[in-house]
Chain A
Amino acid sequence: MYVIVAGGGKVGYYLTKALRAAGQEVTLIEKVRKRYDLLAETFGDSAILGDACEVSTLDLAGAARADLVAAVTGDDEDNLVICQMAKRKFKVKRVIARINDPKNELTFTRLGIDETVSSTKLIYSLIEQEVEVADVIPITALRRGHLELVEVALTAESPAANRHVRDLTLPPNCMLAILVRGETAEVVNGETVLLPGDLIVAITPASCVQALSEALLSGGVPAR
């Protein structure tokens, strides 16, 4: 896979390093000469000096044959322009934008850039997990938030405790995926018997989180 990383700050640097370690072909674009010199020491010809917002720089980086462009500069507006240029001018199949202001996630979607990553939001959601009172803890959102990966800790009072998974009535499209018991993890199947203290990783439509919580924890949906 050929990846272009725009912006050689800390995010761009470590991203490039990780991608190269994974055997991917990467070009890193940095516009500040001083920073570029440092990057060229590490990445050699894979680092290029230029403004990734400019058509000519993207062209030089080989955007036309890139499978993915990741815009990870510190400025949201620059990341937007880089992604739009890559997508519309060079027909790059997949573009990912780093955003700082979580509000821009929606703005970017409206302007045609669907994949965004916000460290502000990620850290916020981690803090939110800490303060969550319910025992269904969101781990991450999948499919742009339509699905959620959640963690559920069973207690002795849980209606699902001491039962076979096949006997539980779960909300539609909810799937109990992995069971963590003590230090071991196993894939959940119908024969699995859930015990108090078990940690279950489940995938659920975002709209069914509450129903799943009731089914496993509060007995809102009876486990026969």
Chain B
Amino acid sequence: MHVVILGCGRVGATLATALVADGHTVAVIDRDGEAFRRLGHGFSGKTILGIGIDEDVLRKAGIERAGGFVAATNGDNTNIMSAQMVKVMFRVPRVIARIYDPLRAEAYKELGIDTMSTTVIGAGICRDFILGMPFHSVEEYQEGIPHTPSAAPPRHPTGAVPQRSR
């Protein structure tokens, strides 16, 4: 599958190298050429210097034949706008936008844009670890972690190390 990644930060670069290792073709877009250094020397994917909300830049990245698009810049609105463009104008089947602001992520989810709020997920994982609770699924974290009564001792009943739920 061809995947276009917008934003060559830590998330974008890690994802890009992982997808290439899995045998997919990848194009990474960033407006800062320096950012591509995060991809390392042997990166066989394509790098495109440009603005991700520009149709021409997206085309250059092969968006028309892409099976997936990930918007992972550090700007929530850039991610939201590019994800919508890719979904509405290029009809890419799987599109996700990383969004820091949980309320904005929720609002766009209601509007049919798949969002991933790493803020909520990260906070949820940290909370479960600290409280010695089993980890939840990504969906559960995104929908809001079930409330835990504060009266409960901050320890897992079995005393076991927290396990991933899946």
Instruction: Please report A residues at the B interface, Cβ cutoff 8 Å.
Output: 53-56, 75-78, 80-81, 84-85, 88-89, 101, 103-104, 107, 110-111
Contact = CB atoms under 8 A, between A and B. Distances in A.
A110 B88 contact: yes
B21 interface: no
B107 interface: yes
Contacts of A88: 107, 110-111
B85 A81 contact: no
A81 B111 contact: no
Interface string B88-116: 11000000000001011001001100000
The 6 lowest CB-CB distance pairs between A and B, nearest first, are A77-B77, A77-B81, A81-B77, A55-B103, A77-B78, A78-B77
B104 A81 contact: yes
A85 B77 CA distance: 11
Given A81-B80, A88-B111, 18 more contacts: A54-B104, A56-B103, A76-B53, A77-B75, A77-B78, A80-B77, A81-B76, A81-B77, A81-B81, A85-B104, A85-B107, A88-B110, A101-B54, A103-B54, A103-B55, A111-B81, A111-B85, A111-B88
A77 B99 CA distance: 14
Interface in B18-55: 53-55
A77 B107 contact: no
A76 B82 CA distance: 11
A80 B81 contact: yes
> A interface, by DSSP: helix, strand, loop or mixed?
helix
A154 to B, nearest CB: 43
Contacts of B117: none
A7 to B, nearest CB: 13
Contact of A54 (B75, B84, B103, B110): B103
Contacts, number: 51
Contacts of A110: 85, 88-89
A89 B111 CA distance: 10
Contacts of A107: 53, 55, 85, 89
B107 A89 contact: yes
10 contacts: A53-B101, A54-B103, A77-B75, A77-B78, A80-B77, A81-B81, A84-B111, A85-B104, A107-B55, A110-B88
A78 B101 CA distance: 14
Report the interface size class on chain B. 10 to 19
Given A81-B104, A107-B89, A111-B84, A75 B111 contact: no
Contacts of A54: 101, 103-104
A104 B103 CA distance: 25
Contacts of A80: 77, 80-81
Contact of A55 (B76, B84, B85, B104): B104
Contacts of B84: 111
Interface string B49-91: 0000111000000000000000000011110110011001100
Contacts of B103: 54-56
Contacts of B104: 53-55, 81, 85
Contacts of A76: 53, 81
A1 B18 CA distance: 54
A145 B103 CA distance: 36
A77 B80 contact: yes
Interface in B96-148: 101, 103-104, 107, 110-111
